[in-house]
Chain A
Amino acid sequence: MTSGDPAQPRRVDRAGIVIAALLALLAAVLVWDARGLQSAAMYGMGPEAMPVVIACGLALLAIGNFIDALRGNLPARESADPVPVVLILIGLALLIAIIGFGGGFILATAALFVTTSAAFGRRAVLVDSIIALVMSTLIYLAFDRLLTLSLPAGPLERLL
Chain B
Amino acid sequence: MSYALQTLWHERQRYASGVLAVTFSAVLIALQCGLLLGLFKITSIPVDNTTADLWVGSQEVPSVDLGKPIPESYISRVAGTPGVDKVELYVAHFANFTKPAGGTELCYLLGSSLNDDAAGAPVVLTREQRDALTMPNAIIVDESDVKRLGLDNPEGKAKINGKAVTLVGTVRGLKSLAAPWVLCSTSTARHLLGFLMPAEHVTYLLARCESPTRAKEVAAELQSQYGSEMGAYTSEEFSLRSRKYWLFRTKAGIAIGYAALLGLFVGAVITAQTLYSATAANAKEFAILLALGVPRWRISLMVLGQSFWVGVIGIAMAYPVCLGLKYAAKQVGADVDLRWEVLLGAAVVTIGMALISGVFALRSVRQIEPMTLLR
Q: Do A and B bind each other?
A: no
B interface residues (Cβ-Cβ under 8 A, vs A): none
